[in-house]
């Protein structure tokens, strides 16, 4: 079933209750409606009528009441009526986004990343080597160590010595500070394609993944149009585009300022965008805008920022979701100066690319 160009299908799991089925759909639809609960429920009513999810014993009104009873919805207190999401619902939406884009990611024991230094406790690599002074005792692989002892002394004189000990190679743990930049210029919903919703889904998934799997890492999220400003993780479902141009420089300046406050030695910027840079803030506070082609004055300022971030050792990894050759050439030039990565991807692969780059970038930065 199509709604605003989005395809929804009924859940085929016969074990799911009507509430669970509708809740799963609700957590997806609410992102498309930018947190507008009443609009999301209207969508769900249409889906329910199309797929007959509810019945006489469990009605759609029962579903709404159960959402309230279980702490997902609250009545708005602004005097305007209607309902809003609770913090529990916002967290559930982020987790659903993570599960959808990245699969079910379980939090590891250490909850930290990998570097290539082998000493101490960290994440395992599957490789073995001889024990060295300073190795963590819980990295000792007892089965392999006993095999060495049997070879050395036999079963009759089995003695486990330091020379027999084998440890599993492990990476030391480290932390990473990331700023995620999201383009909210008007083109993110133009041309018959909703690009802002996938960007929000990726941002929520990344936020949930980092906070649960890598709690020592930090993630700041900023949006940029004519200007740039930070937003809280809890505000992501409500994010909307505006009648804005694209001020790439303002976003980078804010990102660098946020990372400057972070104590982590390893820092990076992710940028999700579909448009060309078309706006700058002049020293007197006025806006310089040009939506026609690539303005040399604007692109020159962008390339200056590429050099500044490189000097600060902050890679900017750009995820370009537009296919225009001249825009991809500009992003390529920016990345060559900065040293970061440039990805030219469709919306379907956006999450997987960011997830993969996050892990790979962390490994490279912590060597």
Delimit the domains of the chain by residue range: 2-85, 122-172, 177-365
Q: Specify whether domain 2-85 bears CATH 1.10.3470.
A: no
CA dihedral 248, 251, 256, 257 (to 10 degrees): 140
Sorting pLDDT into bands at 50, 70 and 90, what band is 290?
A: very high
Q: What is the pLDDT of residue 141?
A: 80
Q: What is the pLDDT of residue 86?
A: 95
Q: What percent of the chain has pLDDT over 90?
A: 50
Q: What is the pLDDT of residue 304?
A: 98
- Stated as kind and residue range, the H or E segment containing 212 is helix 196-213
Q: How many CA atoms lie within 13 A of 88 on its CB side?
A: 9
Domains 2-85 and 177-365 share a fold: no
Left, alpha or beta for 120 (phi > 0: left; psi -120 to 50: alpha)? left
Q: What is the pLDDT of residue 117?
A: 45
Total residues belonging to the chain: 367
pTM, entire model: 0.73
Q: What is the pLDDT of residues 213-264, one digit of tens each?
A: 888 899 999 999 999 999 999 999 999 999 999 999 999 999 999 999 999 8
What average pLDDT does range 12-27 have in this prediction? 84
Q: What is the pLDDT of residue 63?
A: 97
Which homologous superfamily does the CATH classification assign to the domain defined by 177-365?
Answer: von Willebrand factor, type A domain (3.40.50.410)
What is the per-residue DSSP string for 99-149?
A: HHHH---PPPSS-----S--SSSEEEEEEEEE--TT--GGGB-HHHHHHHH
User: Is 109 a residue whose pLDDT tops 60?
Assistant: no
Q: What is the pLDDT of residues 173-223, one digit of tens each?
A: 678 999 999 999 998 887 767 888 888 988 898 898 888 888 889 999 999
What average pLDDT does range 115-120 have in this prediction? 43
Beta bridge partners of 289: 279
Q: What is the pLDDT of residue 45?
A: 95
Q: What is the pLDDT of residue 355?
A: 66
Q: Which residues contact 126 (CB under 8 A, 6 or more apart)?
A: 168, 169
Q: What is the pLDDT of residues 128-137, one digit of tens each?
A: 778 776 677 7
């Amino acid at each position: 079933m199509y709604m605003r160009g989005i395809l929804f299908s009924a859940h085929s799991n016969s074990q799911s209750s009507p509430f669970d089925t509708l809740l799963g759909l609700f957590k997806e639809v609410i992102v498309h409606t930018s947190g507008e609960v009443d609009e999301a429920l209207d969508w769900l009513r249409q889906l329910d009528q199309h797929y007959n999810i509810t019945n006489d014993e469990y009605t759609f009104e029962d579903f709404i009441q159960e959402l309230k009873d279980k702490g997902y919805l609250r009545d708005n207190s602004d005097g305007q009526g209607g309902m809003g999401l609770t913090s529990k619902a916002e967290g559930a939406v982020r987790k659903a986004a993570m599960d959808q884009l990245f699969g079910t990611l379980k939090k590891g024991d250490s909850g930290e990343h990998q570097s290539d230094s082998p000493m101490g406790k960290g994440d395992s690599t599957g490789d073995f080597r001889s024990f060295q002074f300073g190795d963590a005792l819980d990295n000792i692989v007892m089965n392999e160590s006993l095999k060495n002892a049997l070879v050395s002394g036999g079963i009759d004189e089995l003695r486990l010595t330091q020379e027999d000990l084998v440890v599993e190679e492990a990476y030391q743990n480290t932390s990473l500070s990331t700023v995620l930049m999201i383009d909210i210029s008007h083109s993110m919903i133009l041309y018959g394609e909703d690009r802002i919703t996938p960007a929000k889904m990726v941002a929520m998934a990344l936020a949930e993944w980092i906070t649960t799997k890598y709690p020592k890492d930090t993630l700041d999220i900023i949006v940029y149009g004519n200007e740039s400003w930070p937003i809280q993780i809890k505000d992501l479902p409500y994010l909307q585009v505006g009648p804005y141009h694209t001020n790439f420089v303002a976003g980078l300046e804010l990102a660098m300022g946020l990372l400057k406050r972070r104590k982590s030695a390893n820092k990076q910027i992710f940028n999700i965008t579909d448009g060309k840079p078309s706006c700058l803030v002049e020293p007197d506070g006025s806006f310089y805008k040009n939506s026609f082609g690539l303005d040399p004055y604007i692109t020159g300022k962008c390339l200056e920022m590429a050099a500044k971030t490189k000097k600060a050792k902050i890679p900017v990894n750009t995820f370009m979701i537009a296919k225009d050759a001249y825009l991809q050439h500009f992003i390529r030039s920016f990345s060559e100066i900065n040293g970061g990565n440039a990805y030219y991807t469709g919306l379907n692969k956006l999450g997987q690319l960011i997830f993969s780059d996050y892990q790979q970038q962390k490994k490279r930065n912590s060597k």
